[in-house]
Amino acid sequence: MKTMLITGASRGIGAATALLGAEQGYAVVVNYLKNAEAAGQVVDRIVSKGGKAVAIQADVSKEKDILRMFNEVDRIFGSLHCLVNNAGVLGRQTRLVDMDGQRLERIFSTNIVGPILCCREAIRRMSTRHGGQGGTIVNVSSIAARSGAPFEYIDYAAAKGALDSLTIGLAREVADEGIRVNAVRPAFIDTDIHADGGEPGRIDRLKGTIPLKRGGRAEEVAEAILWLASDKSSYSTGIFIDVTGGR
């Protein structure tokens, strides 16, 4: 049974990925930050259908938490086949001119430093250069990497832009070590992240500007993530799948 570690899987896109991953036969690690109850419910849903899952609390903005999480995965499952760098945070919508250093620290430590460190730990376990069996990494970026998210969250967009560069560079760096690295770039997905940005109704406001004229579902992003994680995408590395309703 292959093991898939999904950061930020207590809700939203991460939870949908955990549920679909379990359905497709992965043993799933449901990482979360604060909401133990929600993470537990994701695990319970998987286990009640005969799947295998555990919840592990770890703050991906903290290196020591990341190390503890990967060590727990080693202890519980013995090996890792897929990392989904999904955890991500937004600040309140604002112009760059009003952003402070504390906000930037949180946005960059969670959205790009954490994913880089998670990639490092995954490579140490999966790379054939390190005695591993190979594997896949899927980064959850955003359309914001392309749009820059002016007037909303340029800091978040810049961190996602860095995640895209990470995807391209790392894909080439570990291509002959049995590891493929790809990304999805969602937009307008109906999750609680928009409330965290200060506008719970953001998708309703913007849906008229989306060619498909609706917001997306977390499950629609999970399908793309699972394809990139699987052998079905075996000849793709360093690529991006936009799940953006045509924007």
Residues making contact with ligand NAP (CB under 6 A): 7-14, 31-35, 38, 59-61, 86-89, 110, 140, 142, 186-189, 191-193, 196
Of 233, 222, 197, give the one whose Cα is nearest residue 92.
197
Decide whether 14 or 161 has the Cβ nearer to ligand NAP: 14
CB of 81 to ligand NAP, least distance (A): 20
Decide whether 125 or 202 has the Cβ nearer to ligand NAP: 202
CB of 27 to ligand NAP, least distance (A): 19
Decide whether 26 or 32 has the Cβ nearer to ligand NAP: 32
Sign of CA dihedral 196, 199, 203, 206: negative
Taking CA atoms, 2 is separated from 99, 134, 218, in Å, by: 42, 11, 22
235 part of the active site? no
Query: How far is C-alpha 177 from the chain's CA centre?
Result: 22
Q: Which two tokens mark 217?
A: 């579902």
Q: CA-to-CA distance for 243 and 247, rounded, in angstroms? A: 9
CB of 72 to ligand NAP, least distance (A): 14
Query: How far is C-alpha 220 from the chain's CA centre?
Result: 14
Q: Give the CA-trace dihedral at 143, 195, 31, 247, to 10 degrees.
A: -20
CB of 23 to ligand NAP, least distance (A): 18
Decide whether 179 or 193 has the Cβ nearer to ligand NAP: 193
Which of 26, 153, 156, 235 is catalytic? The answer is 156
Could you tell me where the DSSP H helices lie in the chain? 12-23, 36-48, 63-77, 101-108, 114-126, 144-147, 154-173, 193-196, 202-206, 218-229
Which residues are identified as catalytic?
156
